[in-house]
Amino acid sequence: MDLSIVIPAFEERSKISRDIEAAAAFLHNNHLTGEIIIVDDGSSDNTAETAENTQIPTEISLKVIYSEHHRGKGYAVRTGIMQTGGEYVMFADSGCCVPYENVLRGLKLLKSRACDIAHGSRKLLESQIQRPQGLYRRICSGIFHSFMIYCMKIPSEFTDTQCGFKIYRGDVGRTLYGQCIADGFMFDVEVIIRALKQNLRIKEFPIEWTCDHDSRLTPARSLWRILLELLTIKRTLTKK
């Protein structure tokens, strides 16, 4: 199997069919064998049922995993990645903020062995932002980036650690996520730190991106939970 696509979802009934159809069309149009794995993280709006009823080409596998309780995006992505069987695996946020054709840029890096992990980045000069974030989120993003560099020791070359569009060599992705503990939004940071500790190569690639104002992350309300998760990650990985 060429590519496994994992889409974490929480209360995404209005978007999930479009997500699945876009992912399936990408696989079909580019003659890639693959699977789509939806992980419904305890939604109460029939997200899972809507996903299961979405029609896609029969040659593409669709699996829907439902969690009884809301655990967090990190849990959902980790659960999905661990169920994959593709030579390459990826996750993409619900909402089709990044057109799936952008995957080809990341796959090119991976297939050429230029890296082990390919991150989409909204911050590269070549990236095309169709609808930007609001001023408040841009300020929060800048502060967060500085915090990552100075407190979490993430190399400054990584411009966009939180972009929800990342691709891995299958064995690398399954190994890294099998080690992870973060259930919340900071799982991306944990994966990056673990990858660097294992001397895995990460490269960013430019993307087309449209801001989805219907986001599940509210910086102000999530601040203390984010800081606690980052502290737990730092303490855990410092011991290793």
Q: Model confidence at 216, in pLDDT bands (50, 70, 90)?
A: low
pLDDT at 218: 64
DSSP 39: E
Whole-prediction pTM value?
Answer: 0.93
**Domains of the chain and CATH, by start:** 3-133+159-178+200-214 (3.90.550.10)
pLDDT at 139: 83
Residue 165 vs residues 48, 53, 54, 73, 96: alpha-carbon distances, Å: 21, 25, 22, 13, 10
Is the pLDDT at 31 greater than 90? The verdict is yes
CB 205 within 8 Å of CB 109: yes
Higher-confidence residue of 31 and 135: namely 31
- Kindly state the greatest CA–CA separation across the chain: 49
